[in-house]
Structure 1
Amino acid sequence: MNADQAQTLLAMIVVLGMFVVLALPSLIGAARDRRIDRQIREAQERDRTEAQKSSSRSTVPSTATWYADGRRSKKLVNS
């Protein structure tokens, strides 16, 4: 290998290294965006399935509703 070939090889390595340094942040950002998009999709699917499960359950009045019903009936009786 003579001096011209060594310089050419060194120049190619430098150019390739510069390309990697310039492209790496972009590739890392794209991978991060894909990961976040996947997490958002999974969360939306989880919310959707939980909403379907909760809508099929029977509704039970809360304690406040029972208390208010009792007070209303007492007022009606006293009147």
Structure 2
Amino acid sequence: MNTNQIEALIGLSATFAILVLLILPSVIGLVREHRIDRQIREAQEARGERPAQKSSSRSTVPSTATWYAEGRRSKKLVNS
């Protein structure tokens, strides 16, 4: 191995180490969240409760901006 190859290997290793240091906190957080979610699910099942609804299955009420936009659209249709 010559000097250029060793320098390239050191640079590649340093880049990989920095990448791992940047990604590691996110991975640790995801694993922790998954563990907490599993513990909550197990506790709910032990107490005989149903799991909480997912946000996508909940009924939603339109926001004020939606009502305003619908009113503006209907006025435009009437005026034209």
The answer to whether 1:35 aligns with 2:35 is: yes
Distance 2:35 2:2 in 1: 48
**Residue equivalent to 1:2:** 2
Gaps of 5+ in 2: 50-80
Residues paired across the two proteins, number: 49
Tell me the amino acid that sits aligned with residue 17 of structure 2.
G
- Once the two structures are superposed, residues 41-75 of structure 1 have per-residue CA deviations (whole angstroms, 9 ceiling, x without a partner) of 001101117xxxxxxxxxxxxxxxxxxxxxxxxxx
Q: CA deviation at 1:30?
A: 0.4
Higher helix share: 1
**Distance in 2 of aligned mates of 1:2 and 1:27:** 37
| Structure 1 unaligned regions, length at least 5 | 50-79
CA distance in 2 between partners of 1:34 and 1:22 (Å): 20
Question: What is the TM-score normalised by the length of structure 1?
Answer: 0.60
**Inter-partner Cα distance in structure 2 for 1:2 and 1:28:** 38
Partner AA of 2:27 in structure 1: L
| 4+ residue runs over 4 A deviation | none
Q: Which residue of 2 aligns with 1:48?
A: 48
RMSD between superposed Cα atoms in Å: 1.1
Return the letter of the residue paired with 1:36.
I
Letter in 1 for 2:26: S
